Chains A and B, each alone.
Chain A
Amino acid sequence: MAVPPPSLHLSAIVLAGGRSSRMGAPKAALDWHGTSLLRRVTGVLMRLADPVVVVHAPGQELPELPEGVLLAVDEQPGRGPLEGIAAGMRALHGRADAAFVSSTDAPFLHPAFVRGVAAALDGADAVLPVAGGHNHPLAALYRLSLLPAVEQLLSEQRMRPFYLFETANTRMLDEPQLQRPESLRNVNTPEEYRAALAEPQPAVTVEVFGTLRAPLGIDRTVVRAATLGGAIDALPGLADISHHVLVALNGEQFQADRSVPLVDGDVLSVLTAEAGG
């Protein structure tokens, strides 16, 4: 599995200020299995990127976001994604080397996709996935040093990201080179949104340790859940994360926020909190 070099400090920009005209409702706040689309995308990116900045329109109401997410305002939200990317890059100035840029409506975004794109950066300035005959600039990686070039394009009213990739040292990634290419799937209309919601939720492995095995009646199982809360609810007998029960995600951080997004292949470790001895 390709991984970005430890020396690359990765951040992320989520563009939440779009008009959502075809959806008819703000995409950022759309429900996604008990949480919001924006909460999901920021949560997935927070696994790999620090910080994550959400770029929104002036006065835009946002759904609840996890602690640590930065906010930036796109003062000219009608002028296309480059304006939002520039606003995000300014907010990240001096805090990272590169930013993965994502749209809000990417409910199938997988960390493995982001990791693969970031690993491809090497000496380039940007990494652009190309799939289904389309460029995907809103699922792409940009070095933050591109900000002057972005601002130059904006000042010249050249608003399409294409112009940036023309001049920047860009590495294109074709579909076979992409991990978890379903990450590129967007939801633009109510029909697409409903169809996406109706699909099976991510398959998540739950491992249970110690004295919790007896009351739960399982050592290891697979549940379908898009959030940590959904996974807990899928385990009859596990009341909730509490003073005495801990849940670690993929063997790393402990999580207690039920809105933490889960993705296909995640592993939850459920154990009692009394770890010492």
Chain B
Amino acid sequence: MSGFGRYLLVDLSTGGSEQREIPRHVLRRRIGGAGLGVHLARELSPPDLDPLAPEAPVVFVFSPLVGTPLTTSAKFAVVAKSPLTGQLNDALSSSHFAIAGRMTGNEAIAIVGRAPEPSVCLIDSDGVRVLAAPDLWGLPAAEAEDVLRARFGRGYRAAAIGPAGEALVPFATVSHDGRHAGRGGHGAVLGSKNLKALAVRGREKVAVADPKRVLALAADLRERSFGPATEKYRELGTLANLLAFNALSTLPTRNFREATFEGAQELSAEQVSSLRERTRTHCASCTIGCGHIYPAANGGARMEYENAFALGPLCGVSDPDAVFAASARCDRLGIDTISAGGTIAFAMECVERGLIDVPWLRFGSGEALLRALDEIGSGEGIGPLLRLGSRGMAEEVGHGSIAFAAQVKGLELPGYEPRTLQSMALGLAVNARGADHNRSGAYEADFSTRVDRLAGDGRSVAAAIETEDNAALIDSMILCKFLRGVFADSRAEWAELLSAVTGFDYTAAELGSIAAEIVDEKKRYNVEQGWTPESDTLPERFLNEPLETGGGSAATLPRERLQEMVARYYRLRGWDEDGLPGPDLHDPAAQP
């Protein structure tokens, strides 16, 4: 028997807890991570839930591979209803918290209720303790982690929130080991529960079905993880995207008004890595090592493409010192860099259009960027408006500004311009989480010869479904997406890995059907929480405004083209014309 087959439910209001069995067919068909997470979140969530209400569950979900020697497997998902989108949010992260958490003997830890005062929750072999910790309130997450481990012992691993989570900023993160479950505002959900940190220490042994086979597969995967498919991440990190995206007119600039940035060279990995010192870091159990830490004011900044794009070109800022400092400031506050940069860029355009009177908030000003972040943190000045995120802010500002608020379902767009990446445009429009590049990787097709990236069509739809399904699987196993290039026949190899670990006799075909079920279940969650068909689209800017490419031509994404792709996506998913899944025939919970 492998795995623990149960999850822990903790009620912060009472301090009580109980272990609940997870049926074997649920484990088989939802695997772990995002798949098991949406299942448990759906089971624990009444319809039309207030995401910040005490009864709202937040579920930390591990996966069958956690605790095995497979590279990049030390990952977990945090699943809850997002206060930013009002829809499903499954944010993934990695490091020792995943291993320590699973070794408590649980496949997941679900938390409901609200502690009476700022607290931490400790879970270890002695059980569950909810302890008052008002002295930690106000600390950045990393400092809170350090205090916790000094106070209770080095064996504890903590997931914590920063000041923004305490202030219920709807794009606050959950952090640990310098990594973040970043998108969608889980930090605010923990903040609403008065929970500064969840600290875990485990001693249970993680058993696998076929230990010898797992060891052999792990050695093979480790070897392959050093190959050309991961070289970019090792050598330059994802920041390597920036200059190439600029050449391809896919680098969102000044709130998505442009897709090439005159300051791209200054921010490029090619340049900053040659001019500045940096430190490479690995997540726990990872052989890739994609983290590149650059010196910044207030400590080091982990520079990845997404924070560089959002705090750089999107705000028109080309000064690397300002962008690095802004990134470090987001880490200290505990806010999602994409939503922070996206909301500030939106505000900058509002200023430029005379819709709000904040004269210092100008595109291109690094000082303005840092001041805006400070005001998000302090709640002063324009802070209260920025704390709403771009959709909430557009609702306050009015004057049709929602047309250029670059978000889907309230989640700010990542660094992929939809008009020049039209498979991705569909993925951003229909994904359950909102505009997100990790749950929908359709850009992979756009960055290939498989589709015409400037004219989305049926091939784009097929690519969007395939990559969304693959993301559902890889996010449920969970493995790092940066490994995806090393698999020659992904689903067959994933089936082999999962079979060796779990003892379930998976096939590639079964994984295909499981992926579709997970995507369906995410949609069912959203429908129960108020999803409407109108939300499966992109902001007006992308549908009405031609985008000038670097080559001088105009890229357009006509509304009818996107609508056709969405309709085809629904058909191929087996959903009705309004995007509703049919009867829940495959719900594993309904099976004997």
- Interface residues of chain A, those whose CB is within 8 Å of chain B, are 1, 3, 6, 207, 209-211, 213, 219, 243-244, 246, 248, 250-256, 269, 271-277
Contact = CB atoms under 8 A, between A and B. Distances in A.
Contact of B238 (A1, A246, A271, A277): A277
Contacts of A275: 241, 244-245, 443-444, 447
A251 B270 contact: no
Given A276-B481, A277-B290, A210 B447 contact: no
B551 A277 contact: no
B128 interface: no
Contacts of B241: 275-277
Contact of B448 (A207, A246, A250, A269): A246
A6 B555 CA distance: 10
Given A244-B485, A272-B231, A277 B304 contact: yes
A218 to B, nearest CB: 12
7 contacts: A209-B247, A211-B231, A211-B235, A251-B248, A251-B249, A251-B549, A277-B238
Contacts of A209: 240, 243-244, 247, 270
Nearest to B552: A1
Interface string B229-246: 111110111101101110
Contacts of A243: 485
Given A248-B247, A277-B306, A256 B443 contact: no
Given A253-B454, A272-B231, A210 B549 contact: no
Question: Which of B230, B247, B304, B481 has the most CB atoms of chain A within a 10 A radius of its CB?
Answer: B247
Nearest to B485: A274
Nearest to A213: B270
Interface string B211-254: 00000000000000000111111011110110111011100000
Contacts of B481: 276-277
A269 B449 contact: no
Question: Which of A1, A209, A211, A276 has the most CB atoms of chain B within a 10 A radius of its CB?
Answer: A276
B448 A254 contact: yes
A210 B448 contact: no
Question: Which of A6, A246, A275 has the most CB atoms of chain B within a 10 A radius of its CB?
Answer: A275
A195 B297 CA distance: 63
A251 B550 contact: yes
Given A254-B447, A277-B306, 17 more contacts: A209-B243, A210-B235, A210-B244, A243-B485, A252-B551, A253-B453, A254-B448, A254-B453, A256-B449, A272-B228, A274-B482, A275-B443, A275-B444, A276-B437, A276-B444, A277-B241, A277-B305
Interface in B487-533: none
A119 to B, nearest CB: 12
B311 to A, nearest CB: 16
Given A244-B228, A273-B447, A276-B437, A210 B240 contact: yes
Nearest to A272: B232
B441 interface: yes
Contact of A255 (B228, B248, B449, B453): B449
Contacts of A273: 447-448, 485
A133 B559 CA distance: 48
Interface of B: 228-233, 235-238, 240-241, 243-245, 247-249, 269-270, 290, 304-306, 437, 441, 443-444, 447-449, 452-454, 481-482, 485, 546, 549-554, 556
Nearest to A214: B235
B344 to A, nearest CB: 22
B16 to A, nearest CB: 41
A149 to B, nearest CB: 32
Nearest to B421: A275
Contacts of A269: 244, 247-248
Contacts of A246: 447-448
Contacts of A244: 228-229, 485
A251 B551 CA distance: 6
Contacts of A251: 247-249, 549-551
Contacts of A252: 248-249, 454, 549, 551, 553
Contacts of A254: 447-449, 453
Contacts of A276: 238, 241, 437, 441, 443-444, 481-482
Contacts of B236: 210-211
A243 B488 CA distance: 10
| Closest A-B pairs by Cβ, 10 of them | A277-B238, A210-B240, A209-B244, A275-B447, A271-B244, A251-B550, A269-B247, A250-B551, A256-B449, A211-B235
B230 A274 contact: yes
Contacts of A255: 449
A73 B18 CA distance: 78
Question: Which of A253, A269, A272 has the most CB atoms of chain B within a 10 A radius of its CB?
Answer: A272
B382 to A, nearest CB: 30
B488 to A, nearest CB: 9
B554 A6 contact: yes
B232 A211 contact: yes
Nearest to A273: B447
